[in-house]
Each structure stands twice: as C-alpha cells, then as structure tokens.
Amino acid sequence: MSAPSVGQSERRSGALLEYLARRMRLRSESVLAPLGLRPRHLVALTVLRDAGGISQQALASTLQIDSTNVVGLLNDLEAAHLVERRRSPEDRRRHDVFLTETGASRLGEAECALASAEEEVLGALDPAERDQLYELLRRATSGAPANCAAAVTDEAELDASC
Amino acid sequence: MSAPSVGQSERRSGALLEYLARRMRLRSESVLAPLGLRPRHLVALTVLRDAGGISQQALASTLQIDSTNVVGLLNDLEAAHLVERRRSPEDRRRHDVFLTETGASRLGEAECALASAEEEVLGALDPAERDQLYELLRRATSGAPANCAAAVTDEAELDASC
DNA sequence: TATTGTTATACTCTATAACTATA
DNA sequence: TATAGTTATAGAGTATAACAATA
C-alpha cells in the first residue's frame, strides 16, 4: 500500500472509524491483558466513571450492548472488585452499578498504559492533531445517545438524497 | 447520563474510538444489509478500491485480520461478483485481488446509504467538525501499517513514562 | 401486565493447527 | 525449507427466548 486513502469518493467516516478502532483495539488488547482487562471492560469502566450509579438497563443502552450481556460483563468486573452492584432502595428490581475505588485506580492505570498503543496507532498524527481528534471524539460521544428512536424515522428521506 | 464525557482524566482516545465505532457499526449494519453487505465487507472493499491487485496476505496485513479469515471474506465478495481473484503470473502461489466494476459501484451505493448512519452517530458535530474528523481519520489510517514490529520494541519504555 | 435482571442457547466472528501447491 | 492459500475447528463475542422477582 502506497499511502492509501481509505474511502475517498463519498467521504464517509464509517469505514475509517471501523478501521482505526480495530487497529486500536488490537494494540490495546495486549496492553490491557496484564491488567486483567479487555477493551470492552475498559469502555464499561469509562462510562461508569462518568455515570456511576446507573441501572444495568441504562448501562446496556449507553454501551449499546444487549442487556443480557451486561450481566456477564458486570460479573467479570465485580469478581475483580472493580465495580459494585447495589440493589436500588427505590425500585427493588433494579441494580445500581458503581465504580469502586479499586476500579477507578485500575482504570487510571489502564489509560496510562494505553499511551503506547496510541503512540503506535495514531503515529501519523502530531500531538496537536491527536488532541483535536480526542476532542472531536469526546464531543461526538457526548451527544445524546437517546435520539436513536427519533432518528430512525428519518432514515428513508435521508437515503433518497444521494 | 447528563452530558457525560467518556474518558477525561488521561485523555486517551482508545475507549472513545471503540465506543463511537460501535455506534457507527450498529447503525451501518441495518443500512448495509439491503445491499447484502456487512461492515467488514465495506472496509475490505474500501481498501481494495485504493490498493487493488494486492495479494490476500497483504490484504490480511492491511485489514489486520487473520489471513485464514480473508478466505471466507473474499469468498463472500467473489460470490457476489464484487471482487475477483486472479492467479498471479509472477508467483503462481499468489492470488491478486481486484475490485470489479460491480464492486466499485456497490461500494459507492453503500457509502451513499451510510449518510443516514453518519447523520445519527455524528449528530453532535456540525458539518465543519465532521469534515475535520474525516480528515483526521483519513490521515491516521493512511499512516504506515507496517511499523508494528518496530513499535512493539519500544513498548516497555513508553509504559514507564506515566 | 410490564419491567429488571438472570440463565440457557444458538449464531457470528475470530484465531490456531494441519494440509496442499508452489517457490 | 519457506510462503500463499485453504480447510477444519475451537474459542470469544453477541443476540434470542424463556424464566423469576418486583412493580
């Protein structure tokens, strides 16, 4: 490959995101393994740091994974004492999920260890561009994840436009 | 979740990328299904548009997937007449892989159809920011995918720095 | 009756090992 | 002997269906 540009004609970010995320995930795996974490554990911990105390359902919706799989994910993390399930006093069906102190510090270590993975995967970008990318990703992921239902209804119209 | 920021303390893009790519993949799936494509097919086609004629090994290395899985991937795409395997005249062990005209136009349709998925997933970004993101992703993914071996050796030092 | 969480299970994706053919 | 591609197969990851407890 001689300086290839993946996806030029329609300028869609989809394939590029998939491509870059895969590279990052592969490199992250080996860095996270010594900490007993997998990439999806990292994402879950990261979400819980900001949204601690949410229910498993809400967590599933935020992570966009099936709620049945949240069970296993939390079983892993709880067994490692990184998160805690507390039966909600308001609604006894619910479990509120919290990051433990151990979990918070483990997450910090993980993010620290990820420096080398980023170094490699984002090597083509200079520090300023990496900051820019981080900021854009942060803003994009901060966006309301709840607008899915509304957006789906517009789908047909959008498709016709191009 | 009240305007959460996923990953603030160490400012690592890893979890954000994984998170955003997953959202994009999930939305892409339903958009691509009518075209008989899956997200990983799209990535493969996108790479082949720019690097047509490469061997299956090289494709595996570029896509960062195991070469055994390239077989099945290409079987799918070849059955749909989107790519073509040609026995290399120089080295008869090798298959050179090419995007067909059908493949190129199907890829165009797919990218077009992905507009709605992007609209939804990148909804928090304005058009200028989306262009900026696209450009950063394009540059990051254009970087040499061959430097893995070299970079791995530096790993230990980098880890110690933070 | 609807919802939260759980289990069991099937399906997809991916990786490992052994094989064929060319070099 | 080494490399390109293939097959078979086991392991993760994910989704679907049925169930228990609570609302």
Please tell me whether any atom of strand C lies within 7 Å of the Cβ of A40.
no
Helix (H) or strand (E) run with residue B140 in it: helix B127-142
**Chain A, chain B: beta-carbon pairs less than 8 Å apart:** 269
pTM attached to this predicted model: 0.85
Quote the distance between the C-alpha of residue A39 and its chain's center: 8
pLDDT tens, residue by residue, B61-75: 999 999 999 999 999
Backbone angles phi, psi at A98, to 5 degrees: -125, 145
pLDDT tens, residue by residue, A25-49: 999 999 999 999 999 999 999 999 9
Closest nucleotide to A67 by C1' from CA: C5
pLDDT over 50 (residue B104): yes
Domain ranges of chain B: 13-161
pLDDT at position B78 is: 97
What confidence category does residue B159 fall into, taking pLDDT thresholds of 50, 70 and 90? very low
pLDDT tens, residue by residue, A82-137: 999 999 999 999 999 999 999 999 999 999 999 999 999 999 999 999 999 999 99
pLDDT at position B142 is: 87
pLDDT at position A17 is: 95
pLDDT at position A129 is: 96
Beta strands in chain A (DSSP E): 54-55, 83-87, 95-99
Q: Give, in Å, how far the C1' of C11 lies from the CA of B90.
A: 41
Backbone angles phi, psi at A146, to 5 degrees: -95, -5
pLDDT tens, residue by residue, B110-140: 999 999 999 999 999 999 999 999 999 999 9
Which of B10, B134, B158 is facing A116, going by the closest CB pair? B158
pLDDT over 50 (residue B36): yes
Q: Give, in Å, how far the C1' of D13 lies from the CA of A124.
A: 31
- In this structure, CATH architecture of domain A13-161: Orthogonal Bundle (1.10)
What confidence category does residue A11 fall into, taking pLDDT thresholds of 50, 70 and 90? confident
pLDDT over 80 (residue B145): no
Q: Say how far apart CA A37 and CA B31 lie, in whole Å.
A: 32
Number of H helices, E strands in chain A: 9, 3
To the nearest 10°, the Cα dihedral for A150, A45, A52, B5? -60
